[in-house]
Amino acid sequence: MESQKLILVTGGAGYVGSHCLIELLSNGFDAVVIDNCSNSIQLGQQSMPESLLRIEKLTGRKLIAFYKLDINDQACLERIFIEHRFDAVMHFAALKSVAESCRMPLKYYRNNVGGTMVLLDVMEKFSVKKLIFSSSATVYGRPEYLPIDENHRTGTELTSSYGRTKYFIEEILKDLSHSDPDWSIVSLRYFNPVGAHESGEIGEDPLGVPNNLMPFISQVAVGRRPYLKVFGNDFKTADGTGVRDYIHIMDLARGHLMALKMIVEEETKNTKGWNVFNFGAGRGYSVLDVLKAFETSTKVRIAFKFCDRRDGDVDELWARIIKVRERFNWQPRFDLDAMCLHSWKWQNNYPFGYRTSQRRIESIPNNIDRSLNEEKSNLDEDDNSELLSIRYDHYQDETSNFNQEKNSCFSNNNIDSNKNSHCNHNGNKERNHLKNNQELLKTKFFNKKLKCFQFEVNNNEEDIV
């Protein structure tokens, strides 16, 4: 690379963004990260989220800057574009719970669509017209055929507000690229990213109950949750459980790097406009396939229980990935066993994710051997109700208010704070919240057939999505 390119990464402290940062820094790119820290952990007096500190340690490189702010804050965002001269933007910042999006659609439209509009306005104002957009296979809705290729229709029979936000953003990006030929936009439609970095130092660390299958399985394996709910065993699949396409997070990160190089280095007619690529493994696995692979590769038994299927769930989804193979010579390097092993390595090293200050807490069993049949027979509906009914409602205000300061940015930058008092956060208030967050709220579940194990209390639990 002739000169180091500077990339703005929105949502860079999150799961996908953080793993993509490793690829960027390891391949000579410089990065500025912005994140509102709504789904990341910042311990004590740390200058940035724990995930970013670990990325710097893993890569041996420093971020140019980290800013804690919401992308809906246009004034603060413009100050960042004044301070830095970006070559491109990688846009990950978004809310992503399918279930929550159906309950709170306005929140998702305001954050995902509204935030993207603000970002695009600022990019256009400062003539930064190269964008990698984190999209989703949810834009396809119910599949008309399998495997799904990039020409499959989008925007119809969408089953969640989250999926509609991704679809609306893609339509905006298409209109923008058609109106101005200087734009180079790549939309990457993920299927199901799973796994963790091979080091086991960073991984998926959802706040509250996981929305995705693999981190839920991992939390059951490490003893944080009693069992996995499998939603539906009456799908039209080989074993009756839903089939999805799972892609290792580092394969996905490598794909982002290739797409970025295409728009910032090639500078050809073919890189202009709006381009879209599927990212998956190119095959489907059922929920029970994933459970079996996890047990086989890690030697850890996973308790599970069948529940009714959820509204909107489809039988099976997987991607056709010929286009990305032909364009980038990309193909998945990691199989399902590696996805499971790397997820387990991360979770076993850090049972409470980034809130675990040191590697594995010894009081949490490394291998809780729970017979599936024993679990299913002993954890009946009454046991389930008793186990999952424990709540600490008096902590609700504290936890719900944590990291919700709306005027917080420039936590680690060189801009004169006196000139930007409108977007500085209240340091004392935030430090108090951070201190409170370090006090892990734990309790112990007991069952006559189960050993007691530590479990993090979350008063906003919901079923896995």
C-alpha triplet 38, 290, 166: angle, nearest 5°: 40
Marked catalytic residue, from 108, 162, 167, 285:
162
Structure tokens at 119: 């970002």
Distances (CA, A) of 380 to 374, 377, 448, 450: 10, 6, 12, 13
SS3 for 33? strand
Instruction: Assign residue 433 a region (left: φ > 0; alpha: ψ between -120 and 50; beta: otherwise).
Output: alpha
Question: Using CA atoms, how far apart are residues 181 and 436, in angstroms rounded to an integer?
Answer: 50
Place of tokens 């080989």: 238
Helix, strand, coil percentages for the chain (3-state, nearest 5): 40, 15, 45
**Phi/psi of residue 388, nearest 5 degrees:** -90, 0
Active site residue 67: no
Question: Using CA atoms, how far apart are residues 67 and 73, in angstroms rounded to an integer?
Answer: 12
The C-alpha torsion from 123 through 128 and 130 to 136, rounded to 10°, is -20
- The catalytic residues are 162
